[in-house]
């Protein structure tokens, strides 16, 4: 039996952005919390590393846009507590054909939710952003509050805040076994711990932890190419020149997105919102043929739409997505063990929403009434997960 000093109110497995915000909310509410991370921090093996992410309210679904209102508040609060800038407002430009259905749905959602935005017909778009070349019939939707989150700074700020609030962070400590019970026992490579509740936010490693607990979620792990493109004239697409983040619809089978240059001087981040099946343990495997296809799609986009960039990537990094079939998150209790909570399947769009995700996972772990309707995020929405999986 673990010693009394190793008993916690909650243990969080996985110190990516979702696990960090969960531990932050627990520590804020004076809970004794232990955050476990298998790799030494900081690391680039998961989904939360790198310098930048897009923040936006623009979503087709009302529930994400509603969640984002509180996310902006919590990001601002963390920024204030940390005394460091974590968000830069650049605006978010959505690009697509005038008749694009998703663009119309997003505009309707922004209008319904009272989010400030502006529709830009082709001519006005050309005047506002002369260094974007448009396809015939392409229009824009500008969401004013969109911008850039400084991801690595945010993780550091959260980990510091958790420690300052009395939480404990153990990195380089891999979970080997979870024993369910009134008190959950978590055995790591170093020792055993006990907790009244356990929260699993382990990204691509989620099912490895859940299988011995009798459940396997429909999660697909993808390796994403994060590409940076050199400006022909330094500063053309710079954040200081008021160039916005952008999201392109109907230009390829999946969305293409970009952030103004800034994190690497003279390089702009332009990526494809899709990747290839990957084992998280073998993330640095050689490029698959589909990797080359994805980069070719991006090269064509850059050549046709961003003429002031060199059309070959100057730097290519990798990131992991853990996708659900519907690309909505899983925020739920284990079907059999109600003191084990799961946050998974953030599908490449979870970083900006992590302040509220962490709050929800905290509420679930403490058996509090959730602040949001969790219907879209329940495990039971996947009918294939019948009793056979329990």
List, for residues 226-245, the tens digit of each pLDDT value.
Answer: 999 999 999 999 988 889 99
Cα separation, 179 vs 185, whole angstroms? 5
Check pLDDT > 60 for residue 4: no
High-pLDDT (> 90) share of the chain, %:
81
Mean pLDDT of 363-389: 87
Check pLDDT > 70 for residue 5: no
Please name which of 130, 53, 119 lies closest in space to residue 348, comparing C-alpha atoms.
53
* Alpha helices per DSSP H over 202-343: 206-210, 289-305
Could you list the beta-strand ranges (E) of 57-165.
87-89, 92-97, 117-120, 138-143, 147-150
Output the pLDDT for position 344: 98
Query: Residue 42, preceding bond cis, omega within 30 degrees?
Result: yes
Cα separation, 200 vs 365, whole angstroms? 11
The model's pTM: 0.94
Output the pLDDT for position 174: 96
Question: 4 by DSSP, 3-state: which?
Answer: helix
Check pLDDT > 60 for residue 263: yes
More confident residue, 372 or 265: 372
Does the CA dihedral 247-250-255-257 come out positive or negative?
negative
How do 138-143 and 33-36 pair as beta strands? unpaired
Strand partners, 11: 34, 198
Cα separation, 374 vs 202, whole angstroms? 20
Lowest mean pLDDT among 93-107, 211-225, 268-282: 268-282
Q: Quick check: 185 and 2 in contact, CB under 8 A?
A: yes
User: Band of the pLDDT at 46, cuts 50, 70, 90?
Assistant: low
The string of pLDDT tens digits covering residues 285-332 is 555 556 788 999 999 999 999 999 999 999 998 888 999 999 999 999
Cα separation, 260 vs 107, whole angstroms? 23
Check pLDDT > 50 for residue 342: yes
Mean pLDDT of 33-55: 79
């Amino acid at each position: 039996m673990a010693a009394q000093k190793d008993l916690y109110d909650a243990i969080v497995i996985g110190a990516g952005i979702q696990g960090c915000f969960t531990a932050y909310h627990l520590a804020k509410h004076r809970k004794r919390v232990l955050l476990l991370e298998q790799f030494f921090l900081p690391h680039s093996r998961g989904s939360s590393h790198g310098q930048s992410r897009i923040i936006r309210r623009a979503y087709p679904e009302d529930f994400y846009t509603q969640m984002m209102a509180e996310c902006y508040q919590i990001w601002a609060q963390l920024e204030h507590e940390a005394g460091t800038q974590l968000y830069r407002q650049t605006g978010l430009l959505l690009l697509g054909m005038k008749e694009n259905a998703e663009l119309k749905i997003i505009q309707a959602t922004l209008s319904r939710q009272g989010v400030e935005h502006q529709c830009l017909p082709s001519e006005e778009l050309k005047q506002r952003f002369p260094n974007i070349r448009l396809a015939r019939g392409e229009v824009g939707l500008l969401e004013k509050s969109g911008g850039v989150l400084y991801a690595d700074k945010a993780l550091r700020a959260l980990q510091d805040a958790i420690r300052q609030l009395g939480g404990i962070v153990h990195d380089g400590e891999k979970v080997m076994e979870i024993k369910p019970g009134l008190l959950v026992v978590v055995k790591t490579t170093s020792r055993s711990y006990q907790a009244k509740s356990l929260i699993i936010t382990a990204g691509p490693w989620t099912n490895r932890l859940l299988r011995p607990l009798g459940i396997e979620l429909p999660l697909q792990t993808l390796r994403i190419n994060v590409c940076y493109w050199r400006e022909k004239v330094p500063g053309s697409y710079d954040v200081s020149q008021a160039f916005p983040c952008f999201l392109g619809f109907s230009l390829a089978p999946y969305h293409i997105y970009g952030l103004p240059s800034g994190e690497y001087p003279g390089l702009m981040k332009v990526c494809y919102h899709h990747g290839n099946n990957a084992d998280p343990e073998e993330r640095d495997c050689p490029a698959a043929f589909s990797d080359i296809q994805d980069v070719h799609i991006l090269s064509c986009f850059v050549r046709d739409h961003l003429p002031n960039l060199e059309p070959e990537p100057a730097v290519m990094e990798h990131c992991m997505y853990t996708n659900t079939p519907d690309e909505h998150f899983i925020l739920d209790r284990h079907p059999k063990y109600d003191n084990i909570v799961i946050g998974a399947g953030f599908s490449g769009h979870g970083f900006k929403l992590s302040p509220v995700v962490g709050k929800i996972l905290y509420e679930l772990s403490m058996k509090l009434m959730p602040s949001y309707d969790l219907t879209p995020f329940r495990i039971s929405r996947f009918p294939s997960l019948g009793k056979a999986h329990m």
